[in-house]
Structures are given as structure tokens and as C-alpha cells.
Structure 1
Amino acid sequence: MIVTGLQIDDIPPAERFAAWRALCELTAIPMELRSDHEHDFRASVRGGVSLGEVTLTSTSVPSLRNERTAAHIRRSDPELYHLRLTLSGESDVRHGDVEATVGARQLMLTSTSTPYLAVCERGRVDGMSITLSPSLLPFPAAELNRLLGQRLSGRSGIGAMLADFLIRLAAESDRYGPADAPRLGTVAVDLLNALLAHELDAGAEARAENRLTPESRRRTLRLRIEEFVRQNLHSPGLTPASIAAAHHISLRYLYRLFEEQGHTVSAWIRAQRLERCRRDLADPALGDTPIHAIAARWGFSHAADFSRAFRGAYGVPPRDFRHTALWTNR
């Protein structure tokens, strides 16, 4: 892949900031640049990593203030999106009407068509960005505008996958040939689109929830809790307290949600666990699995407690139930 680099330290100190400014002018995205280190501007840029329709650039700067105003946009606007990944340090950013502080392993989507101000004044900031055309992002502009200037996490989930890919790509760009570039660009765009779709879905869900009536909101929350319980029935640590903590509600509110359905939280959990055990005990494929192992699989740590609960729910001991069920299913 084609890679170009400029180490500002190779230029006389008095000319370093001017060189950086001249380099930025070549991008056809005019902006105003200022720095407290104009007379000793120790910065570097590694750009021109061409990935088909995507370009990857890495930068390291001391204090820097770069601003793109409405006047700059009227002068020249290539109508591109930038995704910025901060690797270390932090910047205060205002993009349109949105303000945020972006730190390490955080991402931000910006548009060259929207006024932008980024201020780095609390130490060196290292990062990288990809530049791409709107045609590569299959979302309505109005939807993407909801995400412009917002912090997106690069520490977990899809954002972490994208961040790790970009970091690895920049570190090993010399290992890839020209034919690899468009393929890698496609991967970067696919990961970015997956992240944006995830964020847009989350935002739509939150907006929809805000429009729910109190009764509908309680019902939606209860359904989420029930699904959470089903996914964690195997865990002996599944308790009302852990469920309430996972959903950021009080124990009292959790109890009230289930009391509206005529049962307690603990009783509902126990009924779900017993039903899973009943199903497995009747499964011929699990005929050789010890009963205590099936009980433990669904969160019953004591065989005697399980046997007593099973008999109370189904009227027969688990051993007798299994014998009858397996005989019937022969």
C-alpha cells in the first residue's frame, strides 16, 4: 500500500508549525490551526494509507487547536466523513451543536460539512482517522446526523473490534500489498457500518421507550428482566439482588414488577429452573447424565433441595419422573 510520512522534527524548529499548516492545506479541507507550541511543534503524521475508497491517517501532536468554520465550508467542502480514533490523550470537541471530551480508545464521527472545533491542550494526543465518502455509509443523512460529534466507545463491543482492526492495520501497513488495500478498506467500512447501525438501533430504542406509557414501560422492563433470567438460569449467583443491579433498579421496584403478575421473583426463577430440569430429564439424549448434574446445570447446587422442589412442583421425585418419561419416549 502507498504510505507517506512526515516527521516534523526533521524541519527547523521555527518552520515546523508552518509545515504542518501547509500539509493540512493539501487536504482540500481548509481550517484554522493554532498551537501553544508553534515555535517548537513536535508533531508527526503518517498518512496516505490508501485502502481503496478509504484513507487512513495517523497523527501525534502537542497542543493544537483546529477549527473549521462555516466560512471554511463555503470555501471548500469535499463532503466527506471522518472517523477519529484517539489512542492516547484527550481533546475537547465541538461539532455543530454537540460538545464532548474524547479520550483514549474512544471514537467520533464527524463531517466536513459541519462546523468543527477540536482543542488539545492537556498534553500530547495520538490518534488515527479514516476518511470516506457518504456513499459508503448506507444510512439516511438525518440518521447519521444524530451520531455526529458523539463519543462512541472503542473499548468494548463492535467499537473495540473496529479500533483493534485500525490499530493493527496502521502498525502493519508495510506488510500488505496493493491488492490487499481495497479488501482491507471493505473490512474497515463493514465494521464501521456495523458500529453505526448498532448505535442507531440503540438510539431508536431509547427514543421509542421514552414515548411509552408508564404501564408499557413496566411491561417492557419486565420482559427484558425475564429474558435476562432465562439466559442466566445456569448461574447459582442469579438472585433478585443481582437482577436488580443488572437493570439499574431497586429491589423494591423489582419485587413490585413481579407481584403485579401474581408471583415473587424467587418463585418465578425457581419455576423456570425446574422446567428446564424437567425438559432435560425427559430427553433421551441426556439419559446417561446424572440427575444431580442436570440440576446443577440449571442452578440447583444442592441435590436434596432440588429433589424436594421438583416433587413439590410436579408431584413425583425427579428419578421417577425421568423413568416414566424415558419409557414413554422409547
Structure 2
Amino acid sequence: MDMPDARTAVPGAGPRDSRPGHEPAHVLRGHDDCVRGSAVRKQFGDVQIVVAAGGPHEAIRPARAIRPGPGAYLHLFRPLSGGIGVHQDGREGHAVAPQIVCCDSTRPYQLFLPRPFRLVEVLLPHRQIGMPPADTAKLTATAWCGRMGAGALLSQLLAGLDEHGTEIHSALDRVGGTIAGLAAAVLADRLRNLAAEDEVARHDLMLHIQAYIRERLSDPALTPHAVAERHHISLRYLQRIFQENGTSPARWIREERLARCRSELLDARLDHLPVGVIGERAGLFQASHFSRLFRDRYGVTPRGYRTMREPAAAN
């Protein structure tokens, strides 16, 4: 069904101070509230498109204005001129043409428009993109490139709606489906990239932590909790990245200590050191405990292991 354009003069439009924050921020109380300024709103099936223009200002959607229930949207912003900043989910992202940035109306967010702007805002119901709010939390407040791939197609499509959106009067559901489908493809691609980036970041962190542990094997205070605290991560996250490598932090530290002892027991230059001191140099300070761990790992006591090497060294 063809729906007429809804032209509204949003309160507060007109000349403003060029720095947001000099007057109370505009509160967005509904899931479909848009930024201040003059706005043209068009419905394409379940997808809403808003072309808005205005002066510098700030808008917030506080937690007190959010009520559970249907009607929530993922908001995509494609600046045409000026720019927009979005603060949500612990991040702050800034977008200028042809970039795209988004926020989710199910959680508090803040919008910053530091200078006169014109932008296209897309309101996408979660069901249209097949993505729950838990997944959108990984995508909000981060600018996406609009110059290549599916992101460029979506950016160009949204920019074209500014010029031609009001001329479309038929097949509105299909147009809305096209917008939602392309947006869903871009969102899915972003999630895949983030997963790959996260995997690389975890791998790099694992290597850094392993080097840190090896340098401090002799420290009796070297524990998984201390390692997590030193690297500003939770103990659970530390356990997770070690689990991905088939071990645990405590087991890896123990294995490295035993491997260090084994290497030093094989070194004839350290024969003057008692076996107990070899253990202490690797952070294993109780001789009986060290001997038991070593025997469990290598099938022989540390003293026996050193003795096994000596005949071979004499030949």
C-alpha cells in the first residue's frame, strides 16, 4: 500500500550553537524517534527511511526511556554532509560520507552532530535482518567503510534515497526488503570480520602472555590470577584463550616450569647445582612436590633423570 510522505518540523530546528551540549540534549523517547531538524519520513514496508537536516546538537536515549516490547529498531546513519557520532555499548564511533554507523534502540545511546548536517537514517526491525540485539551489540558505534564491497552498495543506495526516495510510490515492500537484505548482508559480513579480528587478537595476546610467563617462572607469585590481572583481563577470559589451545593457565605454567627443570638437568654446566635448587629456579620450591610432579610428567625423579644423562655424556 502506498503511504504518503510524513513531513515534520522537528522541535528545535533552526540556527544553533555550533558546539553540542550548550543546552539540554534532545531526549529520544520512542524507538522510532529521529534526530532533530527538518525531516522527511517514508515507510517502505517494515523499513522506515528518514532524511533529516539540521544544526549542531546532541540527542540521547536514556535507559529510563526504554521499555521492553515490540517496535525496537537498529538505526543506520549514512551522512550526506556533516557527520555524526554514536556512543553505545562502551564505544564511540564517528561517521562521515560515505561511511555508515549504527545504534540499537533496545539499549541506551547518545548521538553527536557537531556541525550542520544532512543524513539518511534507516530504521530496521530486528526480525528484518535476522539479528537479535545481543549480536548488534558487537556492531554499534563503529563506522563502516562505504567505499568497497556490499558496504559501498548499501551506502550508495541510502544516498540515492535522499534524491529519489520520495519518487517511489509502488512496490514499497520490495524496496524495503531490498534495503533490509543488503543491510543484513553488510551486518553479517561485519560480524565475520570481527570474529576473525577477535581470533587474531586472542592469538597475539596468548603469545604475549606465554612470553610473560616464561620470563617469570622463578616467581612463586606467578599464578593465573596474577597473569590475568597483569594483562587487564578477567581470569575467565584467560582460561578461555588457554582452553582454545587445549590446556589451562595453571597447567601451562606447571608444564613450562617442569620443562625448564628438565632442560637444566640435561645441562652439564649446572651439575654443581643440587636438584632442589634446579626446582627453585623454576618456581618449584618444595623438593618433594617438585620430585613428584617431575616423576608424574617424565616417569622418573629429577635426580634419576640427571643420572640417566651422565653415562651418555661420558661416551
Please give the TM-score of this superposition, normalised by the length of structure 2.
0.54
Amino acid at match of 1:44: S
Aligned to 1:154, the other structure's residue is in SS state coil
Greater share of helix residues, 1 or 2?
1
How far apart are residue 144 of structure 1 and its match?
2.2
- 1:97 to 1:184, Cα distance in 2 relative to 1, 3 A: same
How far apart are residue 157 of structure 1 and its match?
1.9
Amino acid at match of 1:129: E
Aligned to 1:28: 30
1:194 equivalent to 2:196? Answer no
Task: String of CA shifts for 1:10-65, please: whole Å, max 9, x gaps.
Answer: x999xxxxxxx9x997x7349898x9xxxxxxx42111x11111010000010111
1:154 equivalent to 2:154? Answer no
Unaligned segments of structure 1, at least 5 residues: 14-20, 36-42, 217-330
Tell me if the contact between 1:83 and 1:129 (Cα under 8 Å) persists in the aligned partners.
yes
Aligned residues: 196
Tell me if the contact between 2:99 and 2:145 (Cα under 8 Å) persists in the aligned partners.
yes
How far apart are residue 108 of structure 1 and its match?
1.4
Task: String of CA shifts for 1:168-216, please: whole Å, max 9, x gaps.
Answer: 23322343223x10111111011101101111111111222234489x9
Tell me if the contact between 1:30 and 1:72 (Cα under 8 Å) persists in the aligned partners.
no
1:113 equivalent to 2:106? Answer yes
Aligned CA-pair RMSD:
3.7
Tell me if the contact between 1:81 and 1:132 (Cα under 8 Å) persists in the aligned partners.
yes
Tell me if the contact between 1:91 and 1:118 (Cα under 8 Å) persists in the aligned partners.
yes
> Larger Rg: 1 or 2?
2
The share of aligned pairs that are identical, in percent, is 21
C-alpha separation in 2, matches of 1:167 and 1:30: 20
Unaligned segments of structure 2, at least 5 residues: 16-23, 208-315
Aligned to 2:302: none
Aligned to 1:28, the other structure's residue is in SS state coil
Question: What is the aligned counterpart of 1:139 among 120, 128, 131?
Answer: 131
Task: String of CA shifts for 1:83-115, please: whole Å, max 9, x gaps.
Answer: 111111123321131112222222112111111
How far apart are residue 142 of structure 1 and its match?
2.8
Tell me if the contact between 2:61 and 2:110 (Cα under 8 Å) persists in the aligned partners.
yes
Aligned to 2:85: 92
Amino acid at match of 2:184: N
Question: What is the aligned counterpart of 2:56 among 58, 63, 74?
Answer: 63
Amino acid at match of 1:205: A
Question: What is the aligned counterpart of 2:38 among 33, 44, 48?
Answer: 44
Task: String of CA shifts for 1:285-327, please: whole Å, max 9, x gaps.
Answer: xxxxxxxxxxxxxxxxxxxxxxxxxxxxxxxxxxxxxxxxxxx
Deviates more, 1:187-196 or 1:89-98: 89-98
